């Protein structure tokens, strides 16, 4: 990303590397700000017109990723008796009925991944089921212990933020042996968050493998594993993620998933370049960094930006009969995150947050803070400018989003009262669910 600095000087709000990166791709003729589309699922079609038109083309700048409506997948309910058998084989009726996501893309740039990855999602009363198919000629895995660092191997990763609060989201990684690592993040690492798992906290750690139903993963390799002499056809994996774990501290305690609900979700695939040394796979030293391929582009090599994850729309009844619906609070969420990023740019420059929307607007893409697609935004300072609460009402005044300095975001409808960034303690017990 070193080439970015000169580009950034012409965009005052382009203060972050990923933004510059996006801009550099624009210069190379590739169009930023694409709307969801494509393979088998999730084009928003006419819905796209509801996304604020002023954010599509910010002059000759690329629209920053957090203003781009992400990919979306409609997940259909399954009665428990129809849940897939967890054996890594995707031949279950439950999987055959539903489409795959679009093929994953590179996390930050527009280079097509070397191998295709696609996923499917369903839900029952007590768990989210995820299936993935990974094209891969060299299937290998080294990690054999639950809650070791799986991404040292090639892996498939699922990130879930039921409430869309950027807080207490859950991450699960699995390798081609079906070995898992699951963790809870109270907030993103970049906002001071930390891993809670049995890896870091032993028996006191968050571990969905001990919940009911337990976290379960099974992988199936087409061909032998860890044998460089044989080309593989790829691998597939099935995961069961218990709701009771996914929702812990993330959403209101009594939250029960319903058709029509929206969650934030993301998938990622880590892929290392390997070579054959004496009949064993080793990492190719010519490629010290792994590739990261994702369902919905993040805009930088960083998964821990939950506001940019894809959207999961829960549905029930006949498969394929539910239309894709836009997350109603998208504009308020996007503007709240715009303020979050502008505040951190102001903090970096002046050493404190501000309550001046006018100043924030200098660090934000055009037309985001001027009420073009939301009601009038307001910001109040907290703890002597050490923190802030920014409030973003919807244009029609029926709901309000609010965000604070550590990225914690919530959205309340009018009948729930005003959005108060601090109505949950700083440990963020529970958030309203996504609306
Ligand atoms: C962007 O637009 C400005 C103002 O119209 C112009 O001066 C600048 O050269 C443009 N930059 C690019 C990269 O097209
Ligand atoms: C739903 O759509 C997908 C993708 O178009 C298709 O493969 C699948 O068979 C459909 N399912 C049903 C039950 O019609
Ligand atoms: C980690 O998660 C466990 C299980 O939910 C919880 O009991 C524990 O207090 C958490 N630890 C920290 C430091 O948050
Ligand atoms: C959930 O919140 C409680 C109360 O603040 C806290 O003790 C616990 O550690 C949290 N759980 C996790 C997984 O962080
Ligand atoms: C797998 O583990 C072995 C033993 O530690 C190591 O020699 C090898 O390099 C690892 N393979 C990869 C691809 O990392
Ligand atoms: C997560 O969502 C973001 C935003 O849509 C997307 O850019 C990114 O690729 C997604 N990652 C995965 C792994 O799906």
Tokens standing for residue 429: 């017990």
Atom of ligand 3 nearest to the CA of 249: 5
Measured at the alpha carbon of residue 335, what is the angle toward residues 334 and 337, in degrees to the nearest 5?
65
Cα(88) to centroid(ligand 5), Å: 24
Q: Which of 39-43, 108-112, 394-398 ranks highest by mean pLDDT?
A: 394-398
- What percent of the chain is predicted at pLDDT more than 70? 83
Q: What is the pLDDT of residue 58?
A: 57
Q: Is 274 in the pocket of ligand 5 (CB under 6 A)?
A: yes
> What distance in angstroms lies between residue 433's CA and the mean position of ligand 2's atoms?
29
User: Which residues, in sequence order, are bridge partners of residue 122?
Assistant: 76, 129
In this structure, the residue with its CA closest to atom 4 of ligand 2 is 99
Q: What is the pLDDT of residues 168-184, one digit of tens each?
A: 999 999 999 999 999 99
Q: Find the 77 Cα to ligand 2 centroid distance in Å.
A: 15
Cβ neighbors of 303 (< 8 A, separation 6 or more) are 107, 157, 159, 171, 266, 268, 292, 294
User: Tokens 């836009």 belong to which residue?
Assistant: 326
Taking the CA of 70 as reference, the closest ligand is 6
Q: In this model, does residue 6 exceed pLDDT 90?
A: no
Q: Ligand 6, residues 37, 309, 334: which to mutate, most atoms within 8 A of Cβ? A: 309
Report the pLDDT averaged over residues 37-41. Answer: 34
Q: Average per-residue pLDDT in the chain?
A: 85
CA distance 16 to 298: 13
Report helix, strand or coil for 92: coil
pLDDT at 283: 97
Residue 306 main-chain phi, psi, to 5 deg = -60, -25
Residues having CB closer than 6 A to ligand 1 are 27, 59-60
What integer pLDDT is reported at residue 433 of this predicted model?
59
What is the structure's pLDDT at 60?
A: 55
Q: Please give the average per-residue pLDDT across 86-97, as a whole number.
A: 98
**Nearest-5° angle of CA 293, CA 297, CA 302?**
75
pLDDT at residue 187 tops 60: yes
- Spatial separation of the C-alpha atoms in residues 429 and 425, rounded to whole Å: 7
The CB of 248 under 6 Å from ligand 4? The reply is yes
**Which of 186-200, 393-407, 414-428 shows the lowest per-residue confidence on average (mean pLDDT)?**
414-428
Q: Lowest-confidence range among 124-128, 138-142, 153-157, 426-430?
A: 426-430
Distance separating alpha carbons of residues 338 and 364, to the nearest angstrom: 6
Residue 266 Cβ inside 6 Å of ligand 6? The answer reads yes
Could you read off the pLDDT of 115-141 as tens digits, one per residue? 999 999 999 999 999 999 999 999 999
Rounded to an integer, the average pLDDT of 304-313 is 92
Q: Is residue 15 pLDDT above 70, yes or no?
A: no
Q: Tell me, which fold does domain 70-315 have in CATH?
A: Immunoglobulin-like (2.60.40)
Every domain of the chain and the residues it spans: 1-33+42-68, 70-315, 330-416
- Residue-wise pLDDT tens digits, 220-235: 999 999 999 999 999 9
Ligand 5: nearest atom to the Cα of 153:
14
Going from the Cα of 240 to the center of ligand 6, the distance in angstroms, rounded, reads: 20
Average pLDDT for 2-31: 33
Q: What would the pLDDT profile of 349-378 be if each residue is shown by its tens digit?
A: 999 999 999 999 999 998 999 999 999 999
CA dihedral 103, 105, 110, 114 (to 10 degrees): -80
Is-contact 90 108, C-beta < 8 A? no
Arithmetic mean of pLDDT, 148-154: 96
Q: Give the pLDDT mean for 261-278.
A: 94
Return the pLDDT at 409: 94
Which carries the bigger pLDDT value, residue 34 or residue 78?
Answer: 78
pLDDT in tens, 193-252: 999 999 999 999 999 999 999 999 999 999 999 999 999 999 999 999 999 999 999 988
Name the percent of the chain lying above pLDDT 90.
69
Decide whether any atom of ligand 3 lies within 6 Å of the 101 Cβ.
Answer: no
Structure-token match 């382009």, residue found: 14
Residue 315 binned pLDDT confidence (cut-offs 50, 70, 90): very high
Distance from C-alpha of 104 to C-alpha of 108, rounded to nearest angstrom:
12
330-416: CATH number: 3.30.1300.70
* 179 Cβ inside 6 Å of ligand 6: no
């Amino acid at each position: 990303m070193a080439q970015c600095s000169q580009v950034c000087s012409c965009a005052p709000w382009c203060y972050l590397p990923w933004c510059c990166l996006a801009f550099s791709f624009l210069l190379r003729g590739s169009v930023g700000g694409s709307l969801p589309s494509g393979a088998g699922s999730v084009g928003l079609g006419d819905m796209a017109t509801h996304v604020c038109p002023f954010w599509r083309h910010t002059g000759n700048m690329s629209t920053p990723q957090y203003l781009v409506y992400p990919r979306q997948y409609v997940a259909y309910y399954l009665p428990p008796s129809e849940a897939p058998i967890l054996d890594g084989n995707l031949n279950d009726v439950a999987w055959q009925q539903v489409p795959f996501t679009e093929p994953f893309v590179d996390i930050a740039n527009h280079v097509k991944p070397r191998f295709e990855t696609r996923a499917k999602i369903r839900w029952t009363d007590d768990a989210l089921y995820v299936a993935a198919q990974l094209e891969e000629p060299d299937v290998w895995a080294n990690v054999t212990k639950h809650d070791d660092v799986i991404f040292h191997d090639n892996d498939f990763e699922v990130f879930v933020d039921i409430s869309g609060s950027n807080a207490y989201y859950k991450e699960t990684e699995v390798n081609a042996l079906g070995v898992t690592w699951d963790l809870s993040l109270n907030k993103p690492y970049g906002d001071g968050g930390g891993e809670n798992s049995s890896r870091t906290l032993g028996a006191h750690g968050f571990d969905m493998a001990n919940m009911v139903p337990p976290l379960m993963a099974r992988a199936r390799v087409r061909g032998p594993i860890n044998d460089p002499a044989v080309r593989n056809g790829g691998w597939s994996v099935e995961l069961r993620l218990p709701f009771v774990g996914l929702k812990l501290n993330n959403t209101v305690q009594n939250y029960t998933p319903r058709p029509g609900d929206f969650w934030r979700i993301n998938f990622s695939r880590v892929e290392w370049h390997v070579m054959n040394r004496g009949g064993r796979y080793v990492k190719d030293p010519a490629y010290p960094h792994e590739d990261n391929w994702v369902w919905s582009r993040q805009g930088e090599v960083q998964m821990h930006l939950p506001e940019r994850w894809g959207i999961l729309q829960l549905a029930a009844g006949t498969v394929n009969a539910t239309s894709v619906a836009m997350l109603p609070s998208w504009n308020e969420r996007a503007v709240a995150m715009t303020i979050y990023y502008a505040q951190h740019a102001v903090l970096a420059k002046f050493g404190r947050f501000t309550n001046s929307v006018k100043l924030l607007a200098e660090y934000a893409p055009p037309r985001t803070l001027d009420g073009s697609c939301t009601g009038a935004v307001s910001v109040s300072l907290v703890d002597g400018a050490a923190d802030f609460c920014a409030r973003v009402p919807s244009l029609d005044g029926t709901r309000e989003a609010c965000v604070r300095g550590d990225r914690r975001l919530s959205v309340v409808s009018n009948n729930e009262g005003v959005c108060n960034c601090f109505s949950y303690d700083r440990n963020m017990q529970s958030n309203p669910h996504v609306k």
